[in-house]
Amino acid sequence: MEHHGRTVAIVTGGAAGLGLELVHQLMERGFIVANIDIDAQAMSQLDVSLGSRNPGTYHGFIGDVADEDFARRSLDAISNLGTISLLINNAGRPSFKAPIDYTSTDIELCLTGLRGMIVWTTGVLRATAERDVHIVNVMSSAALRGNAHESVYCAAKWGERGYTESLKTAYKGSSVKIVGFYPGGIDTNFYTDSRDYVDEQKQHSFMKANELATVLLDNILSKANLTVADLVVERNS
């Protein structure tokens, strides 16, 4: 994939964690980056730390990834920045509970990532006329197996996996490249609201977000004559 001049990468859920590492590394690799996140406070800080120091290179858009109107307005603006060549659907929300403890609120929380993935993928495919674009769906190893305290979270991730596999079938042989990314546990604030499930000591044993971002980008942006379709990354035991 060429990434020079006015080539744009979109990252959803880029205000913290893996998403923020991807934003930083994509900018270092020469992309104009559009960062999509609902965390207004964190995004305002990034407008100062990244936007003001990198005028024209970093652009933040604050809103709900699952909101079609917000996505449409944002994509209209993003399309004016340059040629969209990469979408990384990274946004997602966790809920880790015993099966009988899940509520409708938890279900909606877990489905945010799936809905946002569909909304932004559809929007980017339309904006690029279904040509010359990489779409990376960041999921989780929870999309590959069942976990006792992640039943609804796994259900949402398995849905994302089904969507990803269907996209691969729909665009096989075309210039639209679909990549499924399945990382195991990452040392980020993703687990802040689930300390009874993942305490800080366990969290810090997980993979580092900056290393994962490098592994992902090295693979999908390789100039080798090949296509990476799936990338499963687990921490060393």
Give every CB contact of residue 81 below 8 A, 6+ residues apart in sequence. Answer: 6, 8, 32, 34, 59
Average pLDDT over residues 3-27: 89
CB 22 within 8 A of CB 216: yes
Average pLDDT over residues 102-108: 94
Identify any residues that bridge with 10 across adjacent strands, giving them in sequence order: 34, 87
Decide if 1 is inside a domain: no
Domain limits for position 200 = 7-232
Decide if 150 is inside a domain: yes
Average pLDDT over residues 6-25: 95
Decide if 39 is inside a domain: yes
Decide if 202 is inside a domain: yes
- The enclosing domain of 148 has a CATH number of 3.40.50.720
Decide if 26 is inside a domain: yes
DSSP state of 220: H
Cβ neighbours, 10 Å, residue 62: 18
Decide if 177 is inside a domain: yes
| More confident: 187 or 114 | 114
Q: What CA–CA distance (Å, rounded) separates 83 from 7?
A: 5
Average pLDDT over residues 111-138: 97
Residue 55 has a pLDDT of: 84
Average pLDDT over residues 163-168: 98
Q: How many domains does the chain have?
A: 1
| More confident: 93 or 39 | 39
Decide if 237 is inside a domain: no
| More confident: 229 or 136 | 136
Give 175-230 pLDDT, tens digit per residue.
Answer: 999 999 998 766 566 655 555 565 577 656 667 888 899 999 999 998 887 788 89
Decide if 2 is inside a domain: no
The pTM of the full predicted model, rounded to 2 decimals, is 0.91
Average pLDDT of the chain is 90
| Sign for the pseudo-dihedral over CA of 220, 86, 114, 184 | positive
